[in-house]
A = this chain, B = another copy of it.
């Protein structure tokens, strides 16, 4: 795999991917967040989470997307905070969110009731039925603590263009805290896109017959991120495949190409119980046992524990 030329990626980003209007403002916010927490002695992790939307028309009706609920990113954010990190959570709009992710499977109105029962004309308090949401008090308490200590900075994206520009901004913002920054790139990013210049303005008409789509390769942003934008940071990418037989080879090739610190490799069907953390020298299998699953242990707890240790070693080596 030839190494992508960095300067060409930077140029392509500016030319072919619409720059979000708020990118400078967000960058300043992220830089302030990182400095504040680094000065307080904390490490900072940038988590990306959820899939990217790739429009097929400039007035978008249709788009290409990547499967991702955002569960891994959202739960990892909680474990990083529990481990003392401050978290920038760069996530797809409406994907799973830390702490609120517990509401995913229920209709919130089914968990609410009028205090003292629903007498007609009742205008009193609306309370959470804790038989429906048994963990709500614990989760709300933790959420309020995290909010008060400002340990979580949420930033949203929807399109691939927004994702790419906001990730670049994050990398530049975090470069100021050097090796104290971790990048945990769990988002499911499209490999393909249609450049703005080749996109039809209006909705593609089905009366024109079958659809022939020709999509270009998305620039490999990991390359400038590692080499240019945040060269001192601890960088983790994710590799999701459906075919287990090619997974580890692809993970190793990514490390060879980009020279970042680790790849979390996983297979679609088993991703919630099994991952391999691959580095240039090591390969660690993380597995949930049946016992773990019964106890509602999440694999993200293991992933975060593995990576925070590795990050500590990395920081020590940089200083030494």
Chain A contacts to B: CB under 8 angstroms: 1, 53, 56-57, 59-67, 94, 97, 99-100, 103, 107-109, 112-115, 118, 122-128, 130, 136-137, 139-141, 143-144, 188, 190-192, 201-204, 206-207, 209-218, 240-243, 268-269
A97 / chain B contacts, CB cutoff of 8 Å? 107
Chain A interface, >50% SS class: mixed
A268, B65: Cβ atoms closer than 8 Å: no
**CB nearest to A220 among chain B residues:** B206
A123 / chain B contacts, CB cutoff of 8 Å? 137
B109, A139: Cβ atoms closer than 8 Å: yes
B140, A188: Cβ atoms closer than 8 Å: no
A191 / chain B contacts, CB cutoff of 8 Å? 204, 206, 211
Q: How far is the CB of A211 from chain B (nearest CB, A)?
A: 4
Q: How far is the CB of A32 from chain B (nearest CB, A)?
A: 22
A212, B214: Cβ atoms closer than 8 Å: yes
* Complexed CA–CA distance, A242 and B59 (Å): 7
A203 / chain B contacts, CB cutoff of 8 Å? 240-243, 268
Q: How far is the CB of A140 from chain B (nearest CB, A)?
A: 6
A99-B109, A100-B107, A118-B144 known, 11 other contacts, Cβ within 8 Å:
A62-B64, A63-B66, A97-B107, A112-B136, A114-B140, A126-B136, A127-B127, A203-B243, A210-B214, A211-B214, A213-B214
Give the contacting residue for A61; candidates B108, B188, B210; CB below 8 A. B188
B201, A242: Cβ atoms closer than 8 Å: yes
A268 / chain B contacts, CB cutoff of 8 Å? 59, 61, 203
Q: How far is the CB of A81 from chain B (nearest CB, A)?
A: 14
Q: A107-B100, A140-B109, A206-B217 are in contact. Are A128 and B126 (CB under 8 A)?
A: yes
A114, B99: Cβ atoms closer than 8 Å: no
B57, A61: Cβ atoms closer than 8 Å: no
Q: A65-B65, A192-B206 are in contact. Are A140 and B125 (CB under 8 A)?
A: no
A201 / chain B contacts, CB cutoff of 8 Å? 242
A242, B115: Cβ atoms closer than 8 Å: no
Pairs across A and B, CB under 8 Å, 28 listed: A56-B64, A59-B242, A59-B268, A60-B67, A61-B67, A62-B64, A62-B65, A62-B67, A62-B190, A63-B64, A63-B66, A63-B67, A97-B107, A108-B108, A109-B143, A114-B137, A115-B125, A115-B127, A123-B137, A128-B128, A192-B211, A203-B242, A206-B217, A210-B215, A211-B214, A212-B215, A213-B213, A213-B215
